Amino acid sequence: MSVNEKANILMVDDQPAKLLSYEAILGELGENLIQARSGRQALEQLLKHDIAVVLLDVSMPEIDGFEMADMMRQHPRFQKTAIIFISAVHLTDLDRIKGYQSGAVDYISVPVVPEVLRAKVRVFAELHRKTRQLETLNEELERRVDERTHQLRESEQQFRTLANSIPQLAWMADADGKIFWYNQRWYEFTGMEAEESSGLDWKHILHPAHADRVIESMLSSRQMGANWEETFPIRGSDGEFRWFLSRAVPICDSQGAVARWFGTSTDISDQIAAEERIRNLNSQLEQRVTELETIMQVLPVGVTVAHDPLCQVMTANQALSDLLGAQPEENISKSTSSAGGARYELFQGGHALRAEELPLQRAIATGRPVPPAEWEIRRKDGSNAQILGSASPLFDADGQVRGAVGAFFDVTSRKKLEDLLRERADLLELASEAILVRDLNGILLYWNAGAEALYGWKRSEVLGQRVHQVLHTEFPTEKSVIDSTLLNFGRWDGNLVQQTRDGDEITVASRQAFKIGTEAILEINRDITAQLHAEEALRRTERLAAMGRVAGIIAHEINNPLEAITNTFFLLRNHPSLDDEAKYYARLGEEELMRACHITKQTLGFYRESQDPVEVSVVELLEDLFELQARRFQLSGITVDKQYRTQGMVRGFPVELKQVFLNLIGNAIQAMPDGGTLRVRVAERINHRKGLHADLCISICDTGHGVKPEHAKRVFEPFFSTKEAKGTGLGLWISKGIIQKYEGSIQFRSIPLKRGNVTCFRVVIPRARHTGEPEPAMIFAGIEDAASTIQGELDAK
Amino acid sequence: MQNSVVILCVDDEENPLILRKLVLQKHGFQVVTATSARMAMETLNHSHIDLVVSDQLMPGVTGTELAQQIKLAHPHLPVVLLSGVNEIPPDVHYADLFVSKVEGPRALCEHITEVLTQRGILTQQRTQ
C-alpha cells in the first residue's frame, strides 16, 4: 500500500442516518468509505477489503459492537485491525473497551464531535497505511534477501567448481590469515588430507631457504591488507619442490575491513626451467656469435657479408679490409660508391668487373653459390693482389635472398711461389738424380724425369701413391726414426734399398729435407748400385789378397822348417851309423812328419797361381775334372748327368776352386763303388737381399751309400772321415774353408730312399750378376725335387 | 853318371841349405852352394854347373829373379825353384820347375832327375 492509496474505512451502524452523518464527517478525509448496516455486513466487507479502520456502533441489533469486535479478534487477519467504538458513555462499555487494549482500539462517545472523529479515523487510517507500507517493505526486503542468498549460494558453488577446476592451487583464509579452505588441486599437489591441511603452518611445505622471507611478507601484507605476491618453491607429495607464483588478495566487507583472503599458487617450475633454458641458449648464442665474430676478425681469409639484396651495405673482416685497402668497419660495397671513389677494382682475366659481375652480386642474382675462382684486386694506391674466392647467397626464413657472404684468400705469394716452382721444376727435370717430393704421409707430390728414368715409373703412375710402398723401400733404420730426424733436424741422409718397376733392386744414396711449414719432404736419390758393387768387388778382392798374404807368411814360416826337418829325417833314416832301433825311431818320426807335410800341403800348399783372383768359369773347371775322372766313372759304372745354365763365371783362384770340386766329386765317386748317378747342376740364383747379386749355385748329387744321420753334423769337421784309412778327413773341412773365403756356403743333405740314398752337396758362391748371362733361375729349388728326379731315374733302370 | 852332375843350391838360410845339399849328395849329385843370388851368379861364372836349385823367397833377389838372370847368361841351364809359400809368382816361367818344399826329399830328387832327363843331361830314367 503506497502512501497515497486510499484507506478503506468501514462504517458499521444500523441507522442509515448515522452512516450518512459519518460519511459527511469523514468525507473530507478523502479515504474510501464503506458502509455496513449490520455486523454480518461488516464481516463480509472485512473479508472483501483490506480495512484500515472499523467505525463500530456498539449498540446494534443482532450483533452488537463488542460481539463484532470479539469475532474480529478471533480472526488472525483482523486481530490488528483498528476499531473505533461509537457509544453513549457507559462505564461498563468503557471497561469492555479496555479489554481490547491489546489491539488498536479507541472509542468516541456520543454525540460525536466531527473533528474528533475525523482526527481519530485519520490517525488510524494513517497508521494502517503506514503499517501496510512497512509490511510491503518487509516483504520486499525478505524477497530480496532470499534472492540474494540464493545468488550467493549459487555463486559460491560456481566459485568452488571453478577453483577446483583451475590448474593453480587455490586457498581461502580468514581475516587472520588462517586458511580454512583449499581447492582440490592443492590436495593433489601436496598430497595432504583435509584434516591435515586445516590450520596448516605453511612453514612445513615451503622450501626452507624461502620460508622466512615468504612468511614475513605474508604477515606484512596481512597487516596492511594489501595484495600479496611471492615466488617460492612448495613441496609436492613426491617430496620434490616446485616453483610457484603465489598471490593473495584481501576480500573486504562493506565496511572495508578484510573479511577473507583469497589466494592462488601457480606452478611456474616449467616456466622457470624454460626461462633458464632460454637464458642458457641465449648465453650460448651470444658466445657463439662472439666466437664467430672473433674468428671472422682473426681469420686470415677475407670474409664479407652483404646485408641486403642490393649489396648496399657490406661489412668485411680485418683480413678482407686489409686485402682491399679499406678501413676496418668500412662499408666495402661498390654499389654505394663513396665520395672518394672506389677503393679498389676487381679484375678477372684482365678486365674490370662491373657491379653486377661481382661475386656476391652474382650469388644474389642467381640465388646459387659462385664457385671458387681467381680475381685480381687493384687498389687505389696502385698495388694489386691475386685472390681466390667464392660467394654464396643468404636466404631469409621465406627462402628469399636477403644477402650474400663471400670468402677471399690472398694467393699472391702462392702464385709467385708457383711461378718460382715452375721455374725450379724445369731445373729439377734436368737433374739426373731422382727428385721427389712427398707429404708427411708419404704421398708422392712430385716426381722428376730423373726419377722416371731411375725407377721406370711414369709420373702419372705414381703421383698420389705412397711412394715408398711403390718402391718397396728398405730403410736402414726404423722409418719412424728417420721421420723424427727429419722433423727435428730438417735433414736425413742415408742409403735406401729400393725396387725399380722391373723389380730390379737398387741402392740409392738418399738425401731428404723437410722444411717446417711446407708439410712436404724433398728427396734426392742417387743410384749408387753400380758403385756399391764395384766397391764390394774391390773389397772382396782385397780381402782374398790379404788372406793370401797371411797364408803365405804362415806357409813360409812352417814349410821352410818342415822341409829342413824332412830332409834331416831323410838323411838320418838312411845313416849307416844308426842301429835298427834308432832307424825305427827315425822312420816313426819321418812318418809323422809326412802327415804334417801332407796337412800343410793341403791347407797352405800350392793352390794359387797368383796373388790376384781371376775370372774363373766353374763349368770349365768342372769339365776339366770330369775329363780327369772319366776313367774312374767308367770303372765304377757311374753315369754323369750335367746341366749348366750358366758358365758360372766367378772371381777367384782356379786351383782353390778345383780342389773344392775335386773333393766333392771324389767323395761322390767313392760313395758309389757299385755305380750310380752323379748329377751336377750349375745355375744362378738372384739374391734379393743384395740387390743385383746373383749367387752361383753348384750342386753335386750322388746316389751312393749316403751320409749316416749321426755323421751329418760332423762331415765338415777336420779329421772326420768315413773312409777309414783312405781319407785324411780334411777334404770337406778345407773345401768349406775355401768356400767361406768366397763368402759362400757349402751345405749338404742326404735322403734315404727305398732304393739307395741321395746325397747332395750344394755350393753357393755370391758374386755380382754377370749381365751377359740372362737366366736367373732356381736350379736347386729343393733337394726333394732333385731326389724325386733321381728316384725316377733309378726306377727306370 | 849322376856323380858327374853338379847342382848349385841357393838359399839364404844356412841349415836348410846344408840339409838340402846333403840330401842331394846322398842321391848322388855333386853339390855346390851359394847363400845369395849374387854369390850364385859368381859361382856360375867360375864353375861348371848342370842345374840350379834355388829357394824362391830370399832377401833382395827372389828365386824367379835369379832364374831370369841365369837364363840371360846361361839360357840352357835348368833352374828348379823351391817355395815354402802357397803362391806361384807371376814370373814363374823363368824357372823350369816350381816345387813345394813340403813335397819331401824324394820328390825333389825325382823332379830334378826329371828335368835333367828332359834336358838331355841325364839319359837314365832310374836314379835310385
Place of cell 478503506: A8
Q: What's phi and psi for A578, nearest 5 deg? A: -75, 140
pLDDT at A184 over 90: no
Place of cell 812318418: A591
The answer to whether A696 and A764 have CB atoms below 8 angstroms apart is yes
Report angle CA A18, A19, A22 to the nearest 5 degrees.
85
Q: Chain B: residue nearest A572 by CA?
A: B23
Residue spans per domain, chain B: 2-118
Report which of A584, A676, A686 is spatially closest to residue A645, judged by C-alpha positions: A686
pLDDT at A480 over 50: yes
Query: Cell digits for B2?
Result: 849322376
Query: Cell digits for A394?
Result: 643468404
Peptide bond connecting A208 to the previous residue in cis, omega within 30 degrees of 0: no
pLDDT value, residue B126: 44
pLDDT at A586 over 80: yes
Task: Work out the average pLDDT over A269-282.
Answer: 88
Q: Confidence class of residue A585 from pLDDT cuts 50, 70 and 90?
A: confident
Query: Out of A566, A570, A608, whose CB is closest to B86?
Result: A608
Enumerate the β-bridge partners of residue A45: none
The answer to whether A461 and A467 have CB atoms below 8 angstroms apart is no
Beta strand spans in A61-206 (E): 82-87, 105-109, 169-174, 179-182
The pLDDT tens digits for A527-563 are 988 888 878 777 777 776 666 666 667 777 788 888 8
Chain A residues with CB-CB distance to B83 below 8 A: 559, 606
Query: Cell digits for A387?
Result: 685472390
With an 8 Å Cβ cutoff, are A608 and B106 in contact?
no
Q: Confidence class of residue A780 from pLDDT cuts 50, 70 and 90?
A: very low
CA distances from A348 to A36, A351, A406 (A): 132, 6, 16
The pLDDT tens digits for A731-761 are 787 788 888 878 888 888 888 777 778 888 9
Q: Provide the percentage of residues in chain B whose pLDDT is more than 90.
A: 42
CA distances from A621 to A548, A558, A643 (A): 21, 30, 14
Q: How many CB pairs (< 8 A) connect A and B?
A: 89
Task: Work out the average pLDDT over A519-525.
Answer: 87
The answer to whether A616 and A652 have CB atoms below 8 angstroms apart is yes
Nearest CA-CA distance, residue B117 and chain A, Å: 23
pLDDT at A692 over 70: no
**Three-state DSSP class for residue A313:** coil
pLDDT value, residue B81: 92
pLDDT value, residue B77: 92
Report angle CA A628, A629, A633 to the nearest 5 degrees.
150
Q: What's phi and psi for A65, nearest 5 deg? A: -65, -40
The pLDDT tens digits for A62-72 are 888 888 888 88
Chain A residues with CB-CB distance to B90 below 8 A: 610
Which of B58, B80, B101, B103 would you mutate first to test chain A, the one with the most A CBs within 10 A?
A: B101
How far is A506 from A500, CA to CA, in rounded Å?
7
Report which of A529, A572, A366, A567 is spatially closest to residue A434, judged by C-alpha positions: A529
Q: Provide the percentage of residues in chain A whose pLDDT is more than 90.
A: 9
pLDDT value, residue A509: 92
Task: Work out the average pLDDT over A337-347.
Answer: 68
Task: Work out the average pLDDT over A310-318.
Answer: 85
Task: Work out the average pLDDT over A32-61.
Answer: 88
Report angle CA A317, A321, A324 to the nearest 5 degrees.
140
Report angle CA A699, A771, A498 to the nearest 5 degrees.
95
Average pLDDT, chain A: 82
Nearest CA-CA distance, residue A646 and chain B, Å: 29
**Three-state DSSP class for residue A597:** helix
Q: Confidence class of residue B127 from pLDDT cuts 50, 70 and 90?
A: very low
B84 touching chain A per CB within 8 A: yes
Chain B residues with CB-CB distance to A589 below 8 A: none
How far is B103 from B80, CA to CA, in rounded Å?
13
pLDDT value, residue A783: 46
With an 8 Å Cβ cutoff, are B102 and A566 in contact?
yes
Angle separating helix axes A654-671 and A618-636, nearest 10 degrees: 30
Which of B102, B106, B108, B111 would you mutate first to test chain A, the one with the most A CBs within 10 A?
A: B102
Nearest CA-CA distance, residue B67 and chain A, Å: 18
Domains of chain A: 8-139 (3.40.50.2300), 166-267 (3.30.450.20), 299-410 (3.30.450.20), 415-527 (3.30.450.20), 533-604 (no CATH), 614-796 (3.30.565.10)
Range name among A97-111, A173-187, A320-334, A777-791 with the lowest pLDDT average: A777-791
pLDDT value, residue A498: 92
Q: What's phi and psi for B100, nearest 5 deg? A: -80, 140
Place of cell 479496555: A98
With an 8 Å Cβ cutoff, are A597 and B104 in contact?
yes
Chain B residues with CB-CB distance to A568 below 8 A: 19
Residues near B19 by beta carbon (within 8 Å), at least 6 away in sequence: A563, A564, A567, A568, A571
Report which of A249, A217, A215, A244 is spatially closest to residue A231, judged by C-alpha positions: A244
CA distances from B115 to A412, B51, B123 (A): 95, 9, 11
Helix or strand holding residue A676 (H, E): strand A676-686
CA distances from A738 to A13, A699, B2 (A): 188, 16, 43
Complex-level ipTM = 0.83
pTM (whole model) above 0.90: no
With an 8 Å Cβ cutoff, are A567 and B102 in contact?
no
Place of cell 718402391: A471
Range name among A104-108, A198-202, A321-325, A480-484 with the lowest pLDDT average: A198-202
pLDDT value, residue A775: 37
3-state percent helix, strand, coil for chain B, nearest multiple of 5: 45, 20, 35
**Three-state DSSP class for residue A50:** coil
Whether domain B2-118 has CATH 3.40.50.2300: the reply is: yes
pLDDT at A29 over 70: yes
Query: Out of B15, B87, B104, whose CB is closest to A608?
Result: B87
Q: Is the pLDDT higher at A150 or at A298?
A: A150
Tell the burial category of A80 from Cβ atoms under 10 Å away from its Cβ (0-12, 13-18, 19+): middle
Task: Work out the average pLDDT over A457-480.
Answer: 89
Q: Chain A: residue nearest B11 by CA?
A: A560
Q: How many CB atoms lie within 10 A of CB A199?
A: 9
With an 8 Å Cβ cutoff, are B100 and A552 in contact?
no
With an 8 Å Cβ cutoff, are A559 and B102 in contact?
yes
Q: What's phi and psi for A414, nearest 5 deg? A: -65, -40
CA distances from A779 to A552, A648, A680, A685, A785 (A): 37, 13, 10, 8, 10
The pLDDT tens digits for A241-265 are 888 888 888 888 888 788 888 888 8
CA distances from A530 to A12, A16, A156, A509 (A): 171, 178, 116, 12
Chain B residues with CB-CB distance to A564 below 8 A: 13, 15-16, 19
Which of A606, A607, A656 would you mutate first to test chain B, the one with the most B CBs within 10 A?
A: A606
Query: Cell digits for A427?
Result: 731445373
pLDDT value, residue A771: 41
Task: Work out the average pLDDT over A584-603.
Answer: 79
Task: Work out the average pLDDT over A319-340.
Answer: 74
pLDDT value, residue A770: 43
Q: Confidence class of residue A326 from pLDDT cuts 50, 70 and 90?
A: confident
How far is A610 from A651, CA to CA, in rounded Å?
13
Chain B residues with CB-CB distance to A597 below 8 A: 102-104
pLDDT at A138 over 80: yes
Q: Which residues of A625-637 are buried (b: 16+ CB within 10 A; e: fewer)?
A: bbeebeeebeebe
Range name among A116-125, A396-405, A761-770 with the lowest pLDDT average: A761-770
Place of cell 767308367: A634
How far is A357 from A355, CA to CA, in rounded Å?
5
3-state percent helix, strand, coil for chain A, nearest multiple of 5: 45, 25, 30
Helix or strand holding residue B73 (H, E): helix B63-73
Q: Confidence class of residue B80 from pLDDT cuts 50, 70 and 90?
A: very high
B27 touching chain A per CB within 8 A: no
Enumerate the β-bridge partners of residue A757: A752
Task: Work out the average pLDDT over A11-24.
Answer: 89
How far is A97 from A70, CA to CA, in rounded Å?
11
Chain centroid offset of residue A372 CA? 30
How far is A337 from A330, CA to CA, in rounded Å?
12
How far is A297 from A305, CA to CA, in rounded Å?
13
Task: Work out the average pLDDT over A575-596.
Answer: 85
Task: Work out the average pLDDT over A298-303.
Answer: 84
Task: Work out the average pLDDT over B93-113.
Answer: 87
Residues near A364 by beta carbon (within 8 Å), at least 6 away in sequence: A306, A309, A311, A393, A401, A403, A404
B12 touching chain A per CB within 8 A: no
The answer to whether A54 and A10 have CB atoms below 8 angstroms apart is yes
Task: Work out the average pLDDT over A649-669.
Answer: 84
The answer to whether B119 and B76 have CB atoms below 8 angstroms apart is yes
